Amino acid sequence: YAMLLSLIFLIVLVAAVVGFVFRHEIKTNFESNLNLALRDYNVSADRHSEAVDTIQRTLHCCGVQNYSDWGRTEYFTQRGIPRSCCKSQDDCSEEDLKDLSKAKLKVFVDGCFFLVTSTMESKMSVVAGISFGIACFQLVGIILACCLSQYITNNQYEMV
């Protein structure tokens, strides 16, 4: 049991170190994937398009860096900016969404990349605290399992 807990502890420790060391690569990867999701955004509800819509609705953002990122997509030439960018669904017409200057007043202007990464970074202290707490419990479990094993080994010959 102590060996299993030690193995899990080491895996969590390695994952935390790798995540900390490669955090900039994770950001770069996320930005490029978000750009790809915008480029391939379409009307048929695939997973990537739904994810973009969910991020934009939830975080009140539009595009990667800002709302004008949609102007470089194929979707924009056909239908304009997606409705998930609208501040108010009732006040967003398709004509407004096809014109970037009019859309600026109707949609969220901030990009999603900065909001997602800042939200993740702000929650990192909570995640680190919870992880540290779990690691402490694992270390206590390892120590207690080793103590129990030692106790059983020492008293093995006294049993009747």
Whether residue 159 is predicted with pLDDT greater than 60 in this model: the reply is no
Beta strands in 29-96 (DSSP E): none
- Gap between the Cα atoms of 19 and 8, Å rounded: 16
Calculate mean pLDDT across residues 73-78: 88
Query: Among residues of the chain, what percentage have pLDDT more than 70?
Result: 95
43 vs 150, which has greater pLDDT?
150
Q: What is the pLDDT of residues 79-106, one digit of tens each?
A: 889 889 999 888 888 888 888 888 888 8
Tokens 């006040």 locate to 91
Q: What is the CATH number of the domain that holds 126?
A: 1.10.1450.10
Predicted local distance difference test score (pLDDT) of residue 44 = 61
Structurally, the chain folds into a number of domains equal to 1
DSSP-derived secondary structure letter, 64: S
Q: What domain range is 111 assigned to?
A: 1-158
Residue matched to tokens 């900039």: 24
pLDDT, position 136 = 87
pLDDT score for 15 = 82
Q: Is the pLDDT of residue 141 over 70?
A: yes
User: Do 111 and 61 form a contact (C-beta atoms < 8 A)?
Assistant: yes
Q: Name which of 59, 70, 64, 74 is nearest 97 in CA terms.
A: 70
Determine the Cα–Cα distance for residues 103 and 96; give it in Å rounded to an integer: 5
Output the pTM of the full model. 0.67
Residue whose token pair is 């609208």: 86
d(CA 139, CA 5): 8
CB 87 within 8 A of CB 106: yes
User: 50 is written with which tokens?
Assistant: 């739904």
Residue 75: alpha-carbon gap to chain centroid: 25
